[in-house]
Every structure is written in structure tokens, then in C-alpha cells.
Amino acid sequence: MNLSEPFTTSRLHFRLLNQSDTDAVYKQFSDPDMCRYFSEPPCDYNEAVEIIEHYAQPEGKDHHRYGMFDRETGSFIGTCGYHYWDAERKQVEIGYDIWKDYWGQGYMSEALLPPPLSFSR
């Protein structure tokens, strides 16, 4: 899989973040309700730009993050990705953040679980 290619689930569209997402990323990572769950303090606008730049070229890195968007409305829902990829140990740390209006609606289960298998006889 090419990490730069967008993909979808039934309700979500995943793609690389770009500079047009700066306002949404800033809103997400500067909101006090959201930041109480992050290991980083609230960001300022310039730091939001840096977050996007940090994840711009994912190929070959040990970290990556996709923007998650509602497939019907295009609204920014949050981000999802990984940190600390260790190919030798075959382990990775998964991280995500969902805007508070979308909490409790099953978006991360949808994002992280593979689609159900179907078998035919």
C-alpha cells in the first residue's frame, strides 16, 4: 500500500493532511477539551502548520498520520496514524484524535478494524 494514497471506509475518507487543513488542525490541537487527552500542550497556529508538514511525506518514516473526513459532508473528524514503527519487532503505536462532536459514534472502531470477511461456498 502506498501510504500517500487516500482510502475510504463506509463513513470515512482518509488522506494526507495539507495546508488547506491548517484551520481544522489548529482547532483540533488547541482546544482545551481535546488537549486534556494529548501528551502535548495546546498548539498555536504555527505549530498546526508544523504538524501538517511533519506528516507530509510518510514513505519510509517510522510515523504517519492521516486526516479523517466524513465521506458525505467532507467535514474534518480528526486524525489517525502510527508512531514508533519497529519493523524488527513488528510493532507500532497507534494514535488518533476525534473532534469532540464525533465522540462515541464508532468512528475509531471503523477506522481500525478490518472489514468483515465474507465466505462463499
Angle between helices 45-54 and 22-30 (to 10 degrees): 110
What's the pLDDT band for 19 if we cut at 50, 70, 90?
A: very high
| pLDDT (0 to 100) of residue 119 | 45
Q: For the chain, give the percent of residues with pLDDT over 70.
A: 92
Decide: pTM greater than 0.75: yes
- Give the model confidence (pLDDT) of 26-84 as tens digits: 999 999 888 888 777 899 999 999 989 988 887 777 778 899 999 999 999 999 988 77
Cell of 9: 471506509
By the 8 A CB rule, do 55 and 15 touch? no
Domains in the chain (CATH in brackets) are 7-112 (3.40.630.30)
